[in-house]
């Protein structure tokens, strides 16, 4: 003969409805740095347009990186990527301008 264990009590059923404060459990995240987003975007566009947009994007990304450190905003990776892409854009521009014979 096999005996069946008793069914466990359901902890979720009760006489009173359970209310959860959803806003208390969600932490507000800081906003993204608009300068970091703009600098990254301008640096990426500068790669395809092949103009002097790279240094402009790198400068704006640098401003965004400084604001991120000062104000505790998000977007540090975008700012660093914007600086690197802007520097690469400048290097490609200078190489094409002075090293490739016309």
pTM of the model: 0.70
pLDDT digits (tens, 9 = 90+) for 37-57: 999 999 999 988 877 889 999
Task: Identify the segments of the chain with pLDDT beneath 70.
Answer: 1, 10-26, 102
CB contact at 8 A, 61 and 16 = no
């Amino acid at each position: 003969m096999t005996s069946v264990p008793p069914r466990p009590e359901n902890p979720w059923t009760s006489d009173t409805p359970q209310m959860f404060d959803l806003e208390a459990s969600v932490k507000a995240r800081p906003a993204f740095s608009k300068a970091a987003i703009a600098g990254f975007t301008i640096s990426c566009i500068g790669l395809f347009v092949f103009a002097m947009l790279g240094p402009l994007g790198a400068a704006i990304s640098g401003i965004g990186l400084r604001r991120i450190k000062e104000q505790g905003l998000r977007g540090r990776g975008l700012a660093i990527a914007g600086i690197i892409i802007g520097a690469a854009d400048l290097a490609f521009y200078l190489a094409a301008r002075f090293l490739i014979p016309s």
